[in-house]
Amino acid sequence: MKIFVGSDHAAFEAKKELMAYLGTKPEIEVVDEGCFSSDRASYVEFGSKVALRVQNGDGRGILLCGSGIGVSMVANRYQKVRAALCRTPEEAKLSREHNDSNILCVGARISTSENIKKMTDAWLTASFEGGRHAERILSFNTLGELGKSHPDNLAAAEYWILGAVISVVLFGAILGQYNRTYFESIYALEDGWLEYGTVWGLALTFALCLKRIKELWRVRAWTFRLGLVVLSLLCIFGMGEELSWGQRIFGNTSPAFFAAHNSQGETNFHNLVLEGVKINKLIFGTCLSIGVVFYFVILPVIYRRRESIKKFVDKFGMPIAKKWHVLAYVTVFLLALASGSIKKGELLEFSGVWIFFCMYFFPANRSIFEK
């Protein structure tokens, strides 16, 4: 059994003693989630770290603070968490048998070390009785969702952004059919407004990544932090590729390799031609298209149907598209194809980035990005 333990500074010494006690039990793996000294620390931070572990199904938790009240309030904000504030071994035992508690909360200033150990033993050895208790737990598990909007509802900002994106692509599709010369030489011009609009969409997504890294770095698991870092690096790469890594702004001369192997003689990877193979078509065309279809269309479906997939996606901080995001992407994809132009890729890049920005800002699984 894996037990995650956390405390604030007021309960630091009590936590150390409890962890040493738990360490004598070979059947238990103890994970210290902090704090790690007697310096002033917030019970919110360490209560959240343990609650997230339990919410993700990684194990059970024990939280300590001065009274036990603060950490219990924090932990019970998380879905699937049933944190029980206990003062006696009998309460700890009943919290498991009747309430299936998965986090034990105790007060280091209220209970003695010996009493905390007794409560812990009672809590660890007791088992959930199920039956009528299971029915009651099932009835209150969804109470936290009351008053919340449906995860697929669109925010006001999304209406404006998605509406604008679809309008841009629709107008481009019409131009592609009735005035292709204008569409290709002006509307979808290389280094034109569509391309810079794509860069701005990536820049805003990157800024949002940095904001979430700052807010969530200390209260999320390493897998979640990895997801944030990977997405921020992908945004940087995308911006660099769109601007040929600054060459289109500053007019730098391309290195010899890119001058010889890039179809446009620029410093970027997506226009490389190696031994007659166009990287743009192979990787940034075919492979990326398959990836986008899977991420936008297929993953949201299996995310909602398979608990194992949901757990994996949430653990790595991957945003999931709402149904409206999926519909918007399918719409712009069909409109871009209807343009009949070889420049339809500019429309897809622009619209895809801005739809992803909406998806990242307002994902269907938005709760995983909340503090």
- Residues marked active site are found at 65, 98
Q: Where are the beta strands (DSSP E) in 204-310?
A: 273-274, 277-278
Of 76, 75, 85, the closest CA to residue 49 belongs to 75
Can you tell me the distance from the alpha carbon of 226 to that of 228, in angstroms, rounded to the nearest whole number? 5
Contact 232, 206 (CB under 8 A): yes
Strand partners for 30: 3
Of 61, 95, 97, the closest CA to residue 78 belongs to 61
**Which own/partner contact pairs does 80-87 have at CB distance under 8 Å and 24+ positions apart?**
80/54, 80/55, 80/141, 81/51, 81/54, 81/55, 82/137, 83/51, 86/119, 86/123, 87/111
Contact 113, 119 (CB under 8 A): no
